[in-house]
Amino acid sequence: MAVLKNLVAALSFAGASAAATTIAQITGDKYLSPLNGTGVEDVAGLVTAKGPNGFWIRSPTPDKDDRTSESVYVFGRNALGNVTVGDLISINGNVTEYRTNDDYLYLTEIINPRNIRVESSGNTVTAVVLEGKTSGLIGKKDLQPPREQFSGLDNGDVFAVPNEQSRVSEVNPRLDPKKYGMDFWESLSGELVTVKGVTALGRQANNFGDQWVRGNWKVSGQNSRGGLTVTNRDSNPETIIIGAPLDGSENTNETKLGDQLEDITGVVQYVFGFYAILPTTGTKVKSSQEAIPPPSSISSNGRCNGLTFGSYNIENFAPNNSRVSLVAEHIVDYLNTPSVMFLQEVQDNSGETNNGVTNANLTLASLAQAVSDISGIDYLSVSVDPVNNQDGGVPGGNIQTAYLYNPLEVRLRDPNPGTATDVNEVVAGPALRFNPGRIDDGTTFSNSRKPLAAHWELVDGSGTFFTVNNHWTSKGGSSSLQGDPRPPVNGGVDRRSQQAELTGSFIAEILAQDKNAAVIAAGDFNEFAVVEPLRRFVEVSGLRDLDVVGKVPENERYTYTFGASQQQLDHMYASSWATRRVGRGDFEHVHVNTWVAEEDVASDHDPSVARLNVCSR
DSSP 133: -
Q: Which is nearer to ligand NAG, 271 or 596 (CB)?
A: 596
CB 415, min distance to ligand NAG, A? 15
Residue 107 Cα to chain centre, angstroms? 24
CB 177, min distance to ligand NAG, A? 21
CB 37, min distance to ligand NAG, A? 3
Is residue 18 classed exposed, middle or buried when 0-12, 13-18 and 19+ CB atoms within 10 A define those classes?
exposed
Is residue 154 within 8 A of residue 487, CB to CB? The reply is yes
Per DSSP, the residues of 5-34 read: HHHHTT-------TT---HHHHH-SBSS-T
Q: Which is nearer to ligand NAG, 33 or 194 (CB)?
A: 33
Q: What is the C-alpha R_g of the chain?
A: 28
Q: Which is nearer to ligand NAG, 138 or 285 (CB)?
A: 285
Q: Which helix (H) or strand (E) holds 519?
A: strand 519-524
CB 15, min distance to ligand NAG, A? 13
Is residue 310 within 8 A of residue 608, CB to CB? The reply is yes
CB 94, min distance to ligand NAG, A? 4
Is residue 502 within 8 A of residue 441, CB to CB? The reply is yes
Q: Which is nearer to ligand NAG, 54 or 550 (CB)?
A: 54
Q: Which helix (H) or strand (E) holds 129?
A: strand 128-130
The partner residues of 180 in beta bridges, in order of sequence, read 149
CB 117, min distance to ligand NAG, A? 8
Task: Measure CA of the first residue to CA of the last residue in the chain; give whole Å.
Answer: 67
CB 352, min distance to ligand NAG, A? 14
Q: Which is nearer to ligand NAG, 114 or 581 (CB)?
A: 114
Q: Which is nearer to ligand NAG, 123 or 251 (CB)?
A: 251
Q: How far apart are CA 418 and CA 425, in angstroms?
A: 11
CB 349, min distance to ligand NAG, A? 6
Which residues contact ligand NAG (rule: CB under 6 A)? Answer: 32, 36-37, 39, 79, 82, 94, 97, 106, 112-116, 169, 253-254, 319-320, 349, 359, 361-362, 365-366, 598
* SS3 assignment, position 276: strand
Q: Which is nearer to ligand NAG, 373 or 441 (CB)?
A: 373
* SS3 assignment, position 600: helix
**485-486 and 452-458 beta bridge pairing:** unpaired
Residue nearest to ligand NAG (CB): 39
**274-279 and 340-346 beta bridge pairing:** unpaired
DSSP 445: T
Q: Which is nearer to ligand NAG, 115 or 516 (CB)?
A: 115
CB 31, min distance to ligand NAG, A? 9
CB 543, min distance to ligand NAG, A? 32
CB 116, min distance to ligand NAG, A? 3
Q: Which is nearer to ligand NAG, 49 or 493 (CB)?
A: 49
Is residue 339 within 8 A of residue 407, CB to CB? The reply is no
Positive or negative: CA dihedral 27, 28, 30, 32: negative
Q: Which is nearer to ligand NAG, 53 or 320 (CB)?
A: 320
Q: Which is nearer to ligand NAG, 44 or 531 (CB)?
A: 44
588 to each of 293, 294, 514, 544, how far by Cα in Å? 12, 11, 28, 15
Amino acid at 590: V
Is residue 310 within 8 A of residue 606, CB to CB? The reply is no
Q: How far apart are CA 170 and CA 165, in angstroms?
A: 11
